[in-house]
Amino acid sequence: MFFDTHTHLDYLQQDTGETLSQLVQNAQQAGVQKMLMVAVSQQNFKILENITALFPDNLYYGLGLHPLYIQQHQHADLDLLNQHLSQAAKNLTSMAEIGLERAVPELIEDPLWRKQCDFLEVQLQLAKQYQLPVNLHSRKAHDQLFPFLKRIQLPKCGVIHGFAGSYTQAKRFVDLGYKIGVGGTITYARANKTRQTIAKLPLDALLLETDSPDMPVFGYQGQPNRPERVVQVFEQLCQLRPESPRVIQQQIWQNSVALFGQP
């Protein structure tokens, strides 16, 4: 069994035109029994709550304000986020997707960079208040993100989503108690640094994810990514790790359910 710990299933549905039932069924047929859907803006909040209510045994969700869209986020959105978290709807198991974005030049200029940091700070404090793990976007921002996480010590930590960085950077997060999200990046031979990092980290620090419909796995470039392709990520992981596929699958399932599968 597999748990896709990072998916935008609502956007995948828009891209493919398939029904939610079909998307969930496709995933299940590949062994993907559980999925965590993540928000990017306040417009997703109610949608994700409604979708997961239709598939309570398969879908969990996280709410958050993605740093890539910091220009459109309003401070009132943080109040709305707090309101949703306080209502503690079933299957709301994380604060997601939050973090820092440094790959877009205009977003690291003041005042947008300050706004990114302010929104991250508030959301981490909310995660602490509601004892939720976080699903963290960190693009070219590992060194900037780490001090926030070290200072604001969350009771349930979370995962660095779509990790692409050095072993030293990953180990710092792991030593704080965070997991590392393993996705389509490791299916590309050119991603040597990330592949070597994932091969060396403790197995109990890893989670599987697709970021569907984004981050396509090798061989499916140009197509919407899908939760069932977490299986290809797993197969590639097995080639990088010394443990048996059975041990890898069982440990990562346990890691995932313990972090994001506990409504």
Q: What is the pLDDT of residue 173?
A: 98
Confidence of residue 88 (pLDDT cuts 50, 70, 90): confident
* Cβ contact 186:198 at 8 Å: yes
Mean pLDDT of the chain: 97
pLDDT, tens digit, 9 for 90 and up, residues 98-111: 999 999 999 999 99
Is the pLDDT score of 94 beyond 90? yes
Q: How far apart are CA 79 and CA 88, in angstroms?
A: 15
- In angstroms, the CA 208 to CA 82 distance is 28
For residues 33-45, give the mean pLDDT.
Answer: 98
Classified as helix, coil or strand, 175 is helix
Q: Is residue 231's pLDDT more than 60?
A: yes
Spans of all domains in the chain? 2-260
Assign domain 2-260 to its CATH superfamily: Metal-dependent hydrolases (3.20.20.140)
pTM for this model (two decimals): 0.97
Average pLDDT over residues 111-126: 98
236-250 pLDDT, tens per residue?
999 999 999 999 999
- Tens of pLDDT, residues 132-144: 999 999 999 999 9
pLDDT, tens only, 145-191: 999 999 999 999 999 999 998 999 999 999 999 999 999 999 999 99
Task: Report the pLDDT value the prediction gives residue 262, as an integer from 0 to 100.
Answer: 74
Q: What is the pLDDT of residue 90?
A: 85
Average of per-residue pLDDT across 103-121 = 97
Residue 37, pLDDT > 60, answer yes
| Strand ranges, E, within the chain | 2-7, 32-38, 59-63, 92-101, 134-139, 158-160, 179-182, 206-208
Please name which of 128, 116, 115 lies closest in space to residue 82, comparing C-alpha atoms: 128
Reported confidence tier of residue 263, pLDDT bands at 50, 70, 90:
low
Q: Tell me how far apart the alpha carbons of residues 255 and 263 are, in angstroms, rounded to a whole number.
A: 15
d(C-alpha 105, C-alpha 131), whole Å: 33
